[in-house]
Structure 1
Amino acid sequence: MPRPRSAQVSLEDTPFYHCVSRTVRRAFLCGIDHYFLLINMGQSFEHRRGWVEQRLLRLSRVFAIDIAAYAVMSNHLHVVLRIDAETAQAWSSNEVVHQWHQLFKGTLLTQKFAKGEPIAGYELDSLNDTIAEYRRRLLDISWFMRALNEPIARQANKEDNCTGPLLYEIAGRAL
């Protein structure tokens, strides 16, 4: 029976983790689709490899997670990640909010904080809790993989004129 990631990730043991995401509905992540060769004339999806590479580079600048290695295959991808807890703990509250807002909208309170607007005393506990949560998420493999897979699926779905997931994570283990 699969164990939740929280039971699998132990930064005390190792900061390195191998994750795999696989496509659904016989979709091609990249390469030439020979399955529908007669219908699509062997449509090439090789340009999607660039989508994955660009997204990985962007995520490595936002999360406190480094990419040690990756491989983009025709119907799945492998990513070896290194969680950098020291960097995330060294970030100030402003840096945490800035990092988070590079990918996600945040809350009205964090947007207000990011703009340097005054924060009322009764809002401070909520703001500090939110910043602590963002700091945890910026170290979280699940959030990293979500931020990798969802935008790629949206682009591919637009291109394929369909809806639904394209990639789902099938494995994650310590190295």
Structure 2
Amino acid sequence: MPKARKQQVSLEDTRYYHCVSRCVRRAYLCSKDPYTGQSYEHRREWVQNRLLSLTQVFAVEVLAFAVMSNHTHVVLYVNTDAAKSWSELEVIERWHQLFGGTNLTRKYVDDQERESMESWELHQVEKLIAEYRQRFTDISWFMRALNEYIARQANKEDKCTGRFWEGRFKSQALLDEQALLSCMAYVDLNPIRADIAKTPESSDFTSIQMRIRAALQGKQPERLKAFDSYDIEYTALPCHLNDYLELIEFSGRAIHEGKTGHITKGTEDILTRLSIDIESWMELTQGFEYQFCHLAGREQSMRNCRQADNLSRIRGAPQAKRLLA
């Protein structure tokens, strides 16, 4: 039986989530329609641009993404500390970048009108600010701002109405570093597994391509959550960028050739550090989405998760025990 979204998302357990949205129509989200010959490849750029622009408004960071022909993958981090640091005025200004707000919030952002507001009006604005601040840390609102925008754009282009996505997005809570890094690799390698791209750097509209292009200039992408380095604060991802790129390269080669191949020294170090053997890693990065349900991580992480309270059977626990022992 499906779980309610509020039961799938608990920021007390983890701030990392993998979200998948699938298109419902015969015509693909971003591919070429075999019946009409019309190409929708330009929609990939819609999704990427919208996704990255939302990180400038929400307290949500993107770790990995892949825009496929009929679905999208995103790995997100909810930065609740950032949302708490915003001033009341900043919260409203951010909200107005995406939504219309109310007459009261529009008065509040005007210095002169704010001074003339009555106490009951200010009280109402304070309630709205608290609500907006909470929504900026809500992945449901983040995905809504992404998917509704793309659906409206596609409907306008297709001159039609109706449902564009097959339903609400699927989410998986990533409870520990093992689940996080293997899920990111799974997302980054999606185009290679689908034979859309031959190498990570040629995988258009993916986070791994953005990271590689930035790395060639000695940088990390501004719109993506950074990996660990000497000049990045402690909230960075739990390994060095070079280690992750080597891991992706190795995993991609093994998937492409259909065999494990040679494990490089750098890759071996990070896998050993995370206590994942190579066979389990390959299985995770080829089918992460299908190995777990709403929770993903080591068996003990899953049992410690508040979302699993009062459940006699945790879906995905056998896979966790086998793959992330």
State the TM-score bracket (shorter-chain normalisation): over 0.9
Q: Which amino acid aligns with 1:16?
A: Y
Q: Which amino acid aligns with 1:2?
A: P
Of the candidates 81, 96, 115, which is equivalent to residue 86 of structure 1?
81
Find the structure with the greater CA-based Rg: 2
Q: Distance in 2 between matches of 1:77 and 1:123?
A: 41
Match status 1:8 vs 2:3: no
Using the TM superposition, give the Cα deviation of residue 92 of structure 1 relative to its aligned residue in structure 2, in angstroms: 0.7
Are the counterparts in 2 of residues 20 and 169 from structure 1 also a CA contact under 8 Å? no
Q: Report % sequence identity.
A: 58
Q: Which amino acid aligns with 2:134?
A: R
Q: Which moved more, 1:18-27 or 1:101-110?
A: 18-27
Of the candidates 89, 97, 112, which is equivalent to residue 92 of structure 2?
97
Q: Secondary structure, in 3 states, of the residue corresponding to 1:18? A: strand
- After superposition, residues 128-139 of structure 1 pair within 5 angstroms as 128-139=126-137
Greater share of strand residues, 1 or 2? 1
Give CA-to-partner distance per residue, 1:57-112, whole Å, 9 cap, x none.
11010000001111111111111110000000111101100111110010111110
TM-score using structure 2 length: 0.51
Q: Secondary structure, in 3 states, of the residue corresponding to 1:124? A: helix
Show the counterpart of 1:173.
Answer: 172
Q: Secondary structure, in 3 states, of the residue corresponding to 2:10? A: coil
Q: Which amino acid aligns with 2:127?
A: D
Match status 1:157 vs 2:152: no
Q: Distance in 2 between matches of 1:111 and 1:141?
A: 25
Show the counterpart of 1:121.
Answer: 119
Are the counterparts in 1 of residues 30 and 44 from structure 2 also a CA contact under 8 Å? yes
Q: Secondary structure, in 3 states, of the residue corresponding to 1:61? A: coil
Q: CA RMSD in A?
A: 1.1
Q: Which amino acid aligns with 1:32?
A: K
Higher relative contact order (CA 8 A, sep 6+): 1
Question: Which sections of structure 2, spanning at least 5 residues, go unmatched?
Answer: 175-325
Using the TM superposition, give the Cα deviation of residue 27 of structure 1 relative to its aligned residue in structure 2, in angstroms: 3.0
Q: Distance in 2 between matches of 1:122 and 1:98?
A: 21
Are the counterparts in 1 of residues 143 and 169 from structure 2 also a CA contact under 8 Å? no
Are the counterparts in 1 of residues 61 and 78 from structure 2 also a CA contact under 8 Å? yes
Show the counterpart of 2:316.
Answer: none
Show the counterpart of 2:66.
Answer: 71
Work out the number of aligned pairs and report it.
170
Match status 1:31 vs 2:26: no
Q: Secondary structure, in 3 states, of the residue corresponding to 2:154? A: helix
Question: Which sections of structure 1, spanning at least 5 residues, go unmatched?
Answer: none
Q: Distance in 1 between matches of 2:30 and 2:94?
A: 29
Q: Secondary structure, in 3 states, of the residue corresponding to 1:150? A: helix
